[in-house]
Amino acid sequence: MIQGTNSNAGKSLLVAGLCRVFAREGLVVHPFKPQNMSNNAAVADDGEGEIGRAQALQALAAQVPTSVHHNPVLLKPESDTGAQVIVQGRPRGRLDAHRFGHRRDELLPAVLDSFDRLRAIADLVVIEGAGSPAETNLRAGEIANMGFAAAAGVPVILAGDIDRGGVIASLVGTHKVLSPDDGRHVKGFLINKFRGDVGLFDDGLATVSEHTGWPSMGVVTWFNDAARLPAEDAVELTGSPGDGSLRIAVPMLSRIANFDDLDPLGLEPGVDVVMVPPGSPLPVCDLVLIPGTKATIADLGFFREQGWHTDLSAHVRRGGRVIGLCGGYQMLGRTIADSEGVEGPPETVDGLGLLDVHTELTSTKSTEQVTGRHRASGEAVDGYEIHVGTTTGPDAATAWLELTTGAEGATSANGRIVGSYVHGVFAADGFRQAFLADLGVSSSLDYGADVEATLDRWADHLESCLAIDQLLSVARSPV
């Protein structure tokens, strides 16, 4: 199990890289994250529901199909204090932070069940922690770090992020606050995101080992191509500022979801993806892409609070194009009705009015993988849907996609405004190339091959930095 001294210590990519390292050695490897908190989700290949998008990347690295058991508990934030709870792929209700703190023990049986299922079919399970085990105020009932490690009897390697500074103190301090029972699970530490001459940190490694008794597993130096792999957390979204001839502006909604839709576009040399933070106007651009959101009505209000609705109207008047995906699609319509109180008190609100469609939110959640073609170009597409609600209206008669399940999405009469529930469509090279060609940009990127090659380079990098045999030995040792 890889735990970190802090959030964003690089645990997700470390697990992905180690999955690829060991899979290349011929082992059957599965990733596992007991509890994840993210609105960036994927539909699992086993058809049983949704998991964190980071675990989908890790499964790709491990060269195994995705399963809901890779991430049995997924928390999808809907507000600053509340989240939807997904258990083994399916919604299990909503909880605020205080109530969740008292119910985590109820989720441990499902977590252990999923782990046991993976352990039964794998030579090796590489586990990702969440946050930091040093948050001792959350230890009671905790199932994401030492709570899981203790329940499952797994060894832990602690990762420290040196790029943040204070890594020696964070590692030594974590050792200091861990209880003896928890501390015995830690079998070593590693340093992540080191820049410069590794030899300069030899004394630092010695200091950590002296104060903790933990051996060093190595120092992972900075990997520039990490940005080519999908980011797990919205706080890491920076776009791809450059001199691309096509400029795409993406408003950063407060509950932005499934933002990996942007990854293939961000890797295109001719495309400049601009993430627009709250408080900044939408810039002059060729295309505004309104992404998914976990709370459509609340984020529609947030969109208006930023004044982005005014900027969007000006963009459309200038002849600019707009795409709304999932929640962004719902926002583009004339109204959004929540008569069942799915997102809050029952209400109907006005949308942005750029598509002649209406959305009715429902308590039934759609989670499925889909395939089909883009109607205008005929190019194949595949992706997945994760949403509540149905959208109908005159503009839906001019669908954007033709799926094997039927027509999908909507297109305005002038063809410049598009909406769709399908995530992941831009990963399809033929479609993306046709889409960009229509906007005047030539593309030759093979996105899937780029991700695979980056994972291999990342695995090579880890092999050069870490004591891989020692890590495998730790994994074989009972706790």
Between 97 and 468, name the one with better pLDDT. 468
Q: Is residue 148 part of a domain?
A: yes
Mean pLDDT is lowest, of 26-35, 71-80, 289-298, 462-471, for 71-80
Please name the helix (run of DSSP H) or strand (run of DSSP E) that holds residue 396, with its range, or none.
none
What is the arithmetic mean of pLDDT over 288-298? 95
Instruction: Tell me the β-bridge partners of 256.
Output: 293
Do 132 and 271 belong to one domain?
no
pLDDT higher than 90, residue 230: no
Angle at 301 between CA 299 and CA 305, to 5 degrees: 110
Q: Above pLDDT 90, what percent of the chain?
A: 85
Q: Residue 100: what pLDDT?
A: 58
The count of domains in the chain is 2
Asked whether residue 239 is domain-assigned, the answer is: no
pLDDT tens track for 121-140: 999 999 999 989 999 888 88
pLDDT score of 236 more than 70: no
Lowest mean pLDDT among 84-88, 119-123, 355-359, 457-461: 84-88
**Does any domain span residue 127?**
yes
Residue 38 and residue 147 in one domain: yes
Q: pLDDT band at 266, cuts 50/70/90?
A: very high
Predicted TM-score (pTM) of the model is: 0.92
- Quick count: other Cβ atoms within 10 Å of Cβ 108? 20
d(CA 107, CA 100): 10
What is the DSSP code (8-state) at residue 181?
Answer: H
- Both 223 and 254 in one domain: the answer is no
Quick check: is 113 in a domain? yes
Q: Is the pLDDT of residue 297 over 70?
A: yes
**Same structural domain for residues 186 and 287?**
no
The whole-chain average pLDDT of the chain stands at: 93
Instruction: Taking residues 258-275, report their average pLDDT.
Output: 93
Q: What is the full DSSP assignment across 209-249?
A: HHHH-PPEEEEEE--GGGGGSPPSSGGG-----S--SEEEE
Whether 233 maps to a domain, the answer reads: no
Do β-strands 321-325 and 380-392 pair in parallel, antiparallel, or remain unpaired? unpaired
Q: Do residues 121 and 168 both lie within one domain?
A: yes
Q: Which domain CATH number covers 354?
A: 3.40.50.880
Is there a single domain that holds both residue 185 and residue 284? no
Which whole number is the average pLDDT over 182-205? 96
Is the pLDDT higher at 237 or at 136?
136
* 97-106, 380-389, 453-462: segment of lowest average pLDDT: 97-106
Query: What local confidence, expressed as pLDDT, does residue 106 receive?
Result: 84
- pLDDT digit string, tens, across residues 8-46: 899 999 999 999 999 999 999 999 999 999 888 999 998
Domain presence at residue 256: yes
Inform me whether the pLDDT recorded for 276 exceeds 70.
yes
- Residues 192 and 294 placed together within one structural domain of the fold: no
Binned at pLDDT 50, 70 and 90, residue 242 comes out as: low
Q: Are residues 363 and 396 in the same domain?
A: yes
pLDDT-derived band at 264, boundaries 50, 70, 90: very high
Same domain, 132 and 55: yes
Which listed residue (30, 70, 423, 461) is catalytic?
A: 423
- Does 403 lie in the same domain as 336? yes
Domain membership of residue 84 (yes or no) is yes
Across 345-446, where does the E strand assignment appear? 347-350, 358-374, 380-392, 401-403, 406-408, 410-411, 417-420
Range of the domain at 470: 2-227+454-476
Which pLDDT belongs to residue 184? 96
Q: What local confidence, expressed as pLDDT, does residue 81 receive?
A: 62
Cα 377 to Cα 399: distance, rounded to the nearest angstrom: 13
CATH number of the domain that residue 215 is part of: 3.40.50.300
Residues 42 and 19 in one domain: yes
Task: Number of helices (H) and strands (E) in the chain: give both, helices first.
Answer: 15, 26
pLDDT at 458 over 80: yes
Q: Supply the DSSP symbol for 466.
A: B
289 and 391 share one domain: yes
- Give the residue from 83, 180, 68 showing the smallest Cα distance to 118: 68
The single residue of 326, 358, 374, 465 carrying the catalytic annotation is: 326
Query: Quick one: tokens of 433?
Result: 């190339």
pLDDT above 70: residue 305: yes
**Is residue 465 flagged as an active site residue?**
no
pLDDT digits (tens, 9 = 90+) for 90-106: 988 887 755 655 567 78
Is 423 known to be catalytic? yes
Residue 211 has pLDDT above 80, yes or no: yes
Using alpha carbons, select from 246, 227, 423 the residue that is nearest to residue 320.
246
> Do the domain assignments include residue 446?
no
Residue 83 pLDDT greater than 90, yes or no: no
